[in-house]
Amino acid sequence: MVLKIKKLTQNAKIPAYQTKEAAGFDLHSIEDVVIKPGERKLIGTGLAFEIEFGYEVQIRPRSGLAFKHGITVLNTPGTIDSDYRGEIKVLLINLGDEPFEIKEGERIAQAVVAPVIQAKIEEVDELSDTQRGAGGFGSTGK
Ligand SMILES: O=c1ccn([C@H]2C[C@H](O)[C@@H](COP(=O)(O)OP(=O)(O)OP(=O)(O)O)O2)c(=O)[nH]1
Ligand SMILES: [Mg+2]
């Protein structure tokens, strides 16, 4: 699968898988940002993607930032559609107790390519019967 990446700004960094079998590649901030406790911020990467049809890119948190600083991706996994050509942005939230400082060039989140199955959506009047039926939300016990 080829992922085409275009730099939209001079200071954008083309991401790279950090190890041979890494599932995700890290995304870098193009901005200096401070996120106060409880605050959320949309952060630019300066990158645009052309994803092959049949795939998406998911934006996920970095576990180190989550564990050490309470920094996570609010909408995780963020969905990048294969037909999106705008700037890839990362929506971070600070769930920690201290302001979190991000410097331009730092890695703020990771991206994972995943296959997508687009369904043929069909409206019907009846659905088939099943043993579970409408039971959910703990219906089988704790
Ligand atoms: O973390 C994210 C999530 C989304 N996007 C971009 C790519 C995606 O293809 C587009 C739309 O995302 P989504 O469908 O999640 O947002 P929406 O609120 O439904 O907006 P839209 O009405 O544009 O679909 O925004 C990002 O850059 N970062
Ligand atoms: Mg949408």
**Given the structure tokens 């083309």, which residue do they identify?**
14
Nearest ligand for residue 84 CA: 1
The rounded Å distance from CA 99 to ligand 2 centre is 30
Atom number of ligand 1 nearest to Cα 75: 1
Please write the tens of the pLDDT for every residue from 42-80: 999 999 999 999 999 999 999 999 999 999 999 999 999
Closest among 67, 68, 71 to 29, alpha carbons compared = 71
Please write the tens of the pLDDT for every residue from 80-133: 999 999 999 999 999 999 999 999 999 999 999 999 999 999 999 999 999 999
pTM of the prediction? 0.96
Model pLDDT, residue 22: 98
Dist CA 19 CA 85 (whole Å):
27
pLDDT band at 38 (very low <50, low <70, confident <90, very high): very high
Helices (H), the chain: 63-69
Strand spans (E) along 61-98: 71-73, 78-80, 89-94
Dist CA 92 CA 59 (whole Å):
11
Model pLDDT, residue 3: 98
